[in-house]
Amino acid sequence: MAWLFERTIELAAWVAFILAVICFVDAGYVSYQFIRAWMDGETSPVLAYRAGQAAGGFVLFTLAMGALACIDRYVFDLPQATGAKAK
């Protein structure tokens, strides 16, 4: 059962990583659209808002990935490493 839980944590970390990459790309693309609209003399607060949302999603998914990596390291991997050194 611990094996399944560890694999679930690792899968969740990979999903968080993929979603962080998607949010990062989206934030960059929408920021680019906002800058182009701004240089054309238009105002588009919706694009700025969407870029901020995507950047916030990137930060949240990155923090989630870090938390899941810490859980995987200190709950599953560290007890095995300290047990191997004791032998």
Contact between 10 and 84 (Cβ < 8 Å): no
pLDDT tens digits for the chain (87 residues)? 778 888 999 999 999 999 999 999 999 999 999 999 999 999 899 999 999 999 999 999 999 999 999 988 888 877 666 666 655
Asked if the structure places residue 19 within a domain, the reply is yes
Q: Which domain holds residue 61?
A: 2-79
pLDDT tens figures, 52-72: 999 999 999 999 999 999 988
Q: How many domains does the chain have?
A: 1
For residue 70, tell me if it sits in a domain. yes
58 in Cβ contact with 24 (< 8 Å): yes
Q: Tell me, what's the pLDDT at 29?
A: 97
In contact, 6 and 76? CB cutoff 8 Å: yes
- Domain assignment present for residue 85? The answer is no
Decide if 38 is inside a domain.
yes
Residue 86 three-state SS: helix
